[in-house]
Structures are given as structure tokens and as C-alpha cells.
A and B are shown apart, each in its own frame.
Chain A
Amino acid sequence: MKLPKTYTYLKKDLDVIESSLMEAIQANHPVLREASTQLLKAGGKRIRPVFVLLSSQFGTVSIEQITKVAVSLELIHMATLVHDDVIDDAELRRGMPTIKKQYGNRVAMYTGDYILARALETITQIDNAELHKTLAEALVEVSLGEIQQIKDKYNWDQNIRSYLRRIKRKTALLLALSCKLGAMTSGITPSEVKKLYEYGYYIGMSYQIIDDILDFTSSAEELGKPSGNDLYQGNVTLPVLYAMRDENFNRLVRETFANPDEVSKEKMECIISRLKETDAIDMSYQLSERYLKKAFRALNGFPHNKAKITLEQIAKYIGKRKQ
């Protein structure tokens, strides 16, 4: 997700957050510091800090508190990425070697645990019991979602509801939380906080569905990994679930993955091409679009300020995302 040009007015605040992020990961041990810094410098969209900032602009902004919330959420996200790369045996992230690849599993585990601890040290500087209950509950949910994702691998009998629940925990929850915590910190009404939470949630759902579509429709060069890689790894995403309503495709998938270790490149290409012959991609786009519309609707009633315009632009950008 690239920053739209109108984000430039956030640059100063985002720079403060970036410096605070850098400060937060200055470990004493040189390798721990180097590994965390490398991860931070690899960039990323900083969409969580952006959402925290934007959602705070409907109330009274305390940049000090907002920075703490934004830094903590980004650190939590980073810690998750480091451990996910061990789980997925990933060698590259954003074109750079993963911590796991460069330093090994053990250092990756220590780095992830260290970064998560820094996130909690930072957020607990804020004296707001409700905020901590909300964040803690979400953190547990995110972990449970990751466990569920492993449980659901190669489960061809799962339904769309379980897919939606999984992507909620995987992607939408932290985005929704970024909006909610940003809003909570700025002292707006509970119903406004709820609306911004919904905006983040719907955006997250739409974003993840498009991500899952692109896994089939983008080229290996665009994705930086083979097309259909999610399915190859056993992750049953929305396009697959829609396509499996077709009896022939359903049979093909079950037969092909009867022995997951023996799925060849040719077999994967065949599955992808057959999936594209069904209406699965269209149907998936339609569902993503429905979530986007809900995201727009959640913003109704907010004053027409720069923050609202930017949130709408982000939603439009997601709708048009092709890679």
C-alpha cells in the first residue's frame, strides 16, 4: 500500500514515529541491534502508524501518546513478521534476506521476542486501562488466528465463514485496532471510535481478499514468489473456496493435494489456469468491493477534513490495487 500524495501533511509526524521506532530497537547487543535495524530499514508501508495518526485527527491530538501507540503497533507487527519468517522458512522479505536467513532461527526468535517486549514497554507508558484491555485481547486473537491458519491447512471442507474469520485475525484486526487506538487516544465519542474501528476492519478484510486474489492473478515477478504459492503451502483462500463450488475443480484440487509433497509446478499451473476459468476471481473481487463500500460508509458522519479525505483515498487505492 503506497502512501497517496496527500499524505505529505503527515510526513512530520511519521518522521517522529520513524525516529521513535529506531530508538525503540537500539538493543545493547550489536547483533540484536543490527538485526532489528535491518528489519526496520527494509521499510514497509507503515500503514498502522498512518491509521493511528489519521484516526486521531478527529479529536484532540497528543502527538506524544499517538507516537507511543503507533510505535507499539508497528513493533508488534514487526515482531510477528520475524517469527512468521521462521514459521514459513522465508529467505527474503521486501527483497532483503530475512533475519532467520541471515542469522539463523535462534536469533530470529530472540529478536522477535525482544521487539515484542519493546512494544509492550512502550505502550504501557500510556495510562489507559481500556486501551490495554483492547490491545491485549487483539494480540491474543492474532496469535489464535495464526494457530488456526495452521490447523486449517489443506482443509478443503472449510467454509467461507472460517476463511473470513481467519483473515480478520490475520490482517484486519491490527488495522482496525490501529484506527481504534488512535481514535481512543484522541478522546472522541465511543460511537465514533467504533466507526473508525469498523473502517479499519473493512479495509483490512478487503485488502487481504485482494492479496489472496493477486496470489493467482499476478506473475511470479510481480509477487516475488511463484503464483498460487498460498495454495501450494496449503492455505485455502477465498478464490479457491469459490472455485471449489465447481465439481470438477473441487475434484482436481483434492486429487492434486492428496499428497502435498508431490505437487509439481505443472500441476500447480494447471490448477491456477482451471481456477481462472471459474467465476472465483470475479466473485472474490465482488466480496472485496462489498467490504470497501462498508469502509466508506463507516466514515459517514465524520467532518470532511483532511484525515477523512485521506482515509477515503486509501480505500480507493485498495480497490484499484493490482499488485
Chain B
Amino acid sequence: MERELQHLKQQIKEKVRHSFLLQHIDNPEIDEYKLYFLQQILNKTTLAPKVKEQLIITTMLVQIALDIHEQIPDYKGEQGPSINVESQLSILAGDYYSGLYYYLLAEIEEREYITVLATAIKHINELKMELYYLNDYTIENYLNIKKEIQITLIKYIADHVRVTEELPVMAELLLLNYMIHTNDIFVEIDKQSVLEAQVNKTKGMLEGLQVEDGYKQNLVKILHTIVYQHTALEMD
């Protein structure tokens, strides 16, 4: 399993490699949890190995493209500083990776999955707008939209292949991971207590999850990794 994941990561790295781009922008980050979740979902299908692999690679390319565009500094109203070459190339890198996902799926003639991913991208950008213009701001509302943004790509693939049982717990794990790595939304709120609540919620969901033991242990391990590596929280 681990070897397969490493192989996939290597494949993704090769696809995003572009010497000039990578001289100017950071190496795109591959979200390992999302990669693992996708792999788990698709391994439960009867899709041909090549299709599974391309589907995972292209979904991760879309994720990378969306994440890169999220890094563009936001200037509005009063003119901010001129956009720098790094940001210009980040925009183009995101567009390039978006083109690549279409290209790779078109090559293996998987038209349906091109639509699935395009619809997911459309939905994600709607959600991002909702978050950006959030009128009724509460931390719950904010985190709920964030959670949806985190899980939407995987959700669309999972819905299409009809392997959806673990989606809720995957969404909670991804949200937890996001919460741990962000501080700016917790300015007026005690981050520790919100995190603790999220950990307990996720643990509860994991306990009730009806999947094979080995897989369940892996998900618990992910929870532990997310929590232990980055927080002072204690797990039972």
C-alpha cells in the first residue's frame, strides 16, 4: 500500500515538473491524506488499474491547481502592489495543471471523469465564493464550508463510483488537518477547545465506522498523526 502511494506521488511530481515554473514557484504540495483517501475509495472499485491510477493523478492535479490559485495575494479596492513574477507564474501553473488533467483523461478516453472533475471544480469555486462573502459569520458556518471545500473533489469521485461510506469521516479528518494548520480564524476564539471538540467528533465517527479492521486502524493512525504531530492535544 505504502509503495503504491509512493509510486502515485512520484507520478504526480513528474506531471507537475516544469523546470522554469519550479525555478520561480514552490514545488506544489501533494496532500497525502487526500491522496490516501482517493486511493482507498478507488481500490474498492472494479476500475482497471490504469484508469484508477490516472484518476488519482488527475484528481490530485486538480487539487494542486486549485491550491496554487488560492495562494495568489488578494488585492481589492485600492490598488495593491504590482503582481510579482512568482504570482504570475502561480496563476499560469494552476491553469497548466488544469489543462493537464483534461489532457490525461482525454488521452485514456475517460470523458465521464472529465465531467465529474469539472463539476467538482465548479462546485468548489461556488463554495469559495460563499466563504469569501460569508454574511452570517460564525466559526461553525466557516468551518462547515471549509470542510465541504476540502472534501468536494473526493466526494464527486466517490459519488460517481458509489463508494461513499467513509466520506463523512474523511471530511472530518481533512477539516481537522486544516484547523490544526490555520490560526487566523481563531483570533477571538479559543482554538484549543474547538480542536478538542473536532477531535472528539472525529474519534466518535471513527469508532462507529463499519469497515475492515486494517483500514480502520489506518484511519485512526491518520487521526493520531494529524493531532500528535502538530498539537499539544492528548489522545486516549
B-binding residues in A (CB < 8 A) = 27-29, 31-32, 80, 83, 86-87, 89, 103-107, 109-114, 116-118, 120-121, 124-125, 127, 129, 132-133, 135-137, 139-140, 142-144, 146-147, 150-151
Contacts and interface: CB of A to CB of B under 8 A. Distances in A.
Interface of B: 18, 20-21, 65-66, 69-70, 72-77, 82-83, 85, 88-89, 91-96, 98-100, 102-103, 105-107, 109, 111-112, 114-115, 118-119, 121-122, 125-126, 128-130, 132-133
Given A137-B103, A142-B99, A143-B99, A86 B129 contact: no
Contacts of B85: 150
B95 A136 contact: no
Which secondary structure dominates chain B's binding surface? Answer: helix
B125 A32 contact: yes
A101 to B, nearest CB: 8
A80 B92 CA distance: 10
Nearest to A79: B95
Given A124-B115, A136-B107, 7 more contacts: A117-B121, A121-B118, A127-B111, A129-B106, A137-B103, A143-B92, A147-B89
A27 to B, nearest CB: 6
Contacts of A105: 72-76, 83
A219 B59 CA distance: 48
Nearest to A129: B109
Report whether over half of chain A's contact residues are helix, strand or loop; otherwise say mixed.
helix
A124 B114 CA distance: 7
Contacts of A28: 126
19 contacts: A29-B130, A86-B83, A109-B91, A110-B128, A113-B69, A114-B126, A116-B121, A117-B122, A120-B118, A124-B111, A124-B112, A124-B114, A132-B109, A136-B99, A136-B103, A140-B99, A147-B18, A147-B93, A147-B96
A31 B88 CA distance: 24
Contacts of A86: 72, 83, 91
Contacts of A139: 99, 102-103
Nearest to B97: A143
A109 B98 CA distance: 13
Contacts of B115: 120-121, 124-125
**Best-surrounded residue of B18, B65, B111 (most CB of chain A within 10 A):** B111
B125 A113 contact: yes
A249 B118 CA distance: 49
Given A87-B88, A129-B111, A140 B106 contact: no
B155 to A, nearest CB: 15
